[in-house]
């Protein structure tokens, strides 16, 4: 997969190395000459000098053939502009952006950014995941306004343990998208039997998280 990353901050640097290690073709745009030179010295032609908000620079970096564009500059507004340009001028199929201010997340979704990574949400998710008795973790707000992706761990003794998935009555417009068992991840099916410590990845309307949580974790 050809991936273009804009911004060689610490996040961009480690992301680049991880994607290269996974076998992807990666180009990183960086307008700061010192940071560009450091990356170029280590990774060679992976680094590309220039401003990611400049159409000519994007074209020279081969954005028109990119399958994914990831904007990780230090400015939310810059990341939004980059995603907008690559989506509408170069028709990049998938755009991703890192944001610092959580208040900006809705506008990113409204304007068509496919994946928005909110550092605050990620930290809170990691925190909540380690809090006993609170096994619901918000993974992300989805592009569709008002919908969220959450993860719920089924505690031992939950009323739905032993039931088939089709027997669980979820809130309206909510659905299970993945079930992670001790043996691995499984796609949901009506006959799938739920077990203690299964992790359910679900899509639910914003505001229905508590109802979903109560249904999935309520005790017998």
Kindly report the CATH number assigned to the domain that includes residue 65: 3.40.50.720
Over the stretch 65-110, which tens digit does the pLDDT of each residue have? 999 999 999 899 999 999 999 999 999 999 999 898 888 888 888 8
- Pair 78, 108: CB distance under 8 Å: no
Q: Is residue 205 part of a domain?
A: yes
115 lies in the same domain as 38: yes
Considering 70, 94, 120, which residue would you say is the last residue of a domain?
Answer: 120
105 lies in the same domain as 153: no
- Domain total for the chain? 2
89 lies in the same domain as 161: no
DSSP letter string over 76-127?
Answer: HHHHHHHHHHHHHTS--SEEEEEES-GGGHHHHHHTT-SEEEEHHHHHHHHH
110 lies in the same domain as 134: no
Q: Is residue 125 part of a domain?
A: no
12 lies in the same domain as 115: yes
Over the stretch 185-194, which tens digit does the pLDDT of each residue have? 788 888 999 9
Q: Is residue 213 part of a domain?
A: yes
Helix or strand holding residue 30 (H, E)? strand 25-30
Question: What does the alpha-carbon distance between residue 220 and residue 111 come to, in Å, rounded to a whole number?
Answer: 44
> 30 has which bridge partners?
49
10 lies in the same domain as 109: yes
- Pair 21, 32: CB distance under 8 Å: no
| Residue 169 lies in domain | 130-217
Kindly report the CATH number assigned to the domain that includes residue 145: 3.30.70.1450
Q: Is residue 190 part of a domain?
A: yes
Q: Which residue has the higher pLDDT, 91 or 18?
A: 91
Task: Grade residue 220 by pLDDT with cuts at 50, 70 and 90.
Answer: low
CA-angle at 42, arms to 37 and 47, nearest 5°: 55
73 lies in the same domain as 33: yes
- Does this model's pTM top 0.85? My answer is no
Considering 91, 120, 149, which residue would you say is the last residue of a domain?
Answer: 120
Considering 96, 120, 144, which residue would you say is the last residue of a domain?
Answer: 120
Q: Tell me 164's DSSP state.
A: B
């Amino acid at each position: 997969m050809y991936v273009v990353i804009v911004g060689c901050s610490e996040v961009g640097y480690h992301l680049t190395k991880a994607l290269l290690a996974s076998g992807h073709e990666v180009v990183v745009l960086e307008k700061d000459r010192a940071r560009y030179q450091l990356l170029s010295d280590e990774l060679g032609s992976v680094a590309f000098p220039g401003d990611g908000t400049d159409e000519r620079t994007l074209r020279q970096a081969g954005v028109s053939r990119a399958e994914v564009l990831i904007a990780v500059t230090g400015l939310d507004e810059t990341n939004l502009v980059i995603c907008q340009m690559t989506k509408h001028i170069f028709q990049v199929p998938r755009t991703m952006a890192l944001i610092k201010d959580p208040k900006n997340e809705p506008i990113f979704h409204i304007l068509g950014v496919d994946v928005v990574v909110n550092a605050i949400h990620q930290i809170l998710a990691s925190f909540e995941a380690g809090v006993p008795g609170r096994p619901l973790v918000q993974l992300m707000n989805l592009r569709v306004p008002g919908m969220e992706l959450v993860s719920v761990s089924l505690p031992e003794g939950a009323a739905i343990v032993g039931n088939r998935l089709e027997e669980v009555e979820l809130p309206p417009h909510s659905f299970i998208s993945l079930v992670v068992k001790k043996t691995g991840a499984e796609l949901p099916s009506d006959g799938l039997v739920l077990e203690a410590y299964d992790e359910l990845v679900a899509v639910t309307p914003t505001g229905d998280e508590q109802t979903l949580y109560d249904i999935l974790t309520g005790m017998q």
